[in-house]
């Protein structure tokens, strides 16, 4: 598929995601590095989902059953779960995110995910399981080492693998730059593994040139910086002092 362009949203409030969702293919509401609680992310999701045509993902705070469940009750288009380094991490992420028979996600019918009503529960659970776009953030060198095994066992339930360039580069002691051949080779390897299993790939671009490089690598979801840095870039473009 053609690469989609989006960004992370960490700026507090409703306006930034509303503007971004009108102008990008996708948006990730960031609860891992942003300050919003689940109620605030719910409002941000509604604001952005209703105002634009973007896919809206939420990045969960952590690999935690309760946190993941609260984010899924918002019923976003997709959920990204951080801190995936081992096969067990991936297994837990899937277990916490899906209802039986896939996982063990808890159920309350009186939430948005179930239209606040206890009718047709089995049909609703089946629909939610089928519709969930689950993304796993592969962290560091260990995550990359275990990726092939994770995909072989769980690719059926994974929509997206997000490659954390900063964490991976930090674990290797190299600069997080797409001019680094070692980083590019790792991305190529990751793309091949994921696309072979029909799983999408996402990562971050730090410049328009990076976007072009990632498009050539067939990265499916390209995150351009985040909303705070996009704002700073805009200021720098006219501030000549």
Tens of pLDDT, residue by residue over 137-150, are 998 888 989 999 99
* Prior bond of 230 cis (ω within 30°): no
What's the rounded Cα separation, in Å, for the pair 61 and 81? 8
- Residue-level pLDDT at 44: 95
Distance of CA 135 to the CA centre of its chain: 5
**67, 122 in Cβ contact below 8 A?**
no
- Residue-level pLDDT at 166: 85
What mean pLDDT, rounded, does the chain reach?
Answer: 94
Which helix (DSSP H) or strand (DSSP E) does residue 35 occupy?
A: none
Task: Mention every residue, 6+ apart, whose C-beta is less than 8 A from residue 84.
Answer: 63, 90, 93, 136, 137, 138, 139, 143, 150
For the chain, the C-alpha Rg in angstroms (whole number) is: 18
Write out pLDDT tens, residues 174-216: 888 898 888 888 889 899 999 999 999 999 999 999 999 999 9
- Residue-level pLDDT at 186: 86
């Amino acid at each position: 598929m053609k690469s989609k362009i989006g960004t992370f949203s960490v700026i507090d409030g409703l306006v930034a995601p509303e503007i971004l969702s009108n102008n990008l293919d996708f948006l990730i509401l960031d609860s891992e590095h942003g300050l919003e609680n689940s109620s605030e992310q719910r409002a941000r999701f509604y604001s952005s989902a209703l105002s634009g045509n973007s896919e809206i993902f939420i990045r969960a705070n952590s690999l935690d059953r309760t946190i993941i469940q609260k984010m899924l009750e918002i019923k976003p288009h997709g959920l990204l779960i951080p801190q995936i380094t081992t096969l067990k991490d991936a297994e837990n992420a899937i277990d916490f995110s899906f209802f039986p028979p896939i996982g063990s996600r808890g159920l309350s019918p009186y939430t948005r995910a179930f239209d606040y009503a206890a009718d047709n529960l089995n049909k609703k659970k089946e629909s939610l399981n089928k519709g969930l776009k689950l993304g796993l953030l592969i962290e560091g060198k260990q995550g990359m080492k275990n990726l092939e095994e994770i995909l072989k066992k769980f690719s059926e339930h994974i929509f997206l693998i997000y490659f954390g360039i900063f964490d991976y580069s930090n674990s290797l002691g190299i600069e997080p730059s797409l001019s680094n051949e070692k980083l590019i080779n790792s991305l190529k390897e990751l793309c091949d593994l994921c696309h072979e299993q029909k799983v999408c790939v996402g990562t971050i671009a730090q410049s328009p040139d990076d976007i072009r490089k990632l498009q050539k690598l067939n990265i499916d979801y390209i995150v351009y910086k985040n909303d705070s840095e996009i704002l700073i870039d805009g200021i720098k473009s006219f501030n000549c002092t």
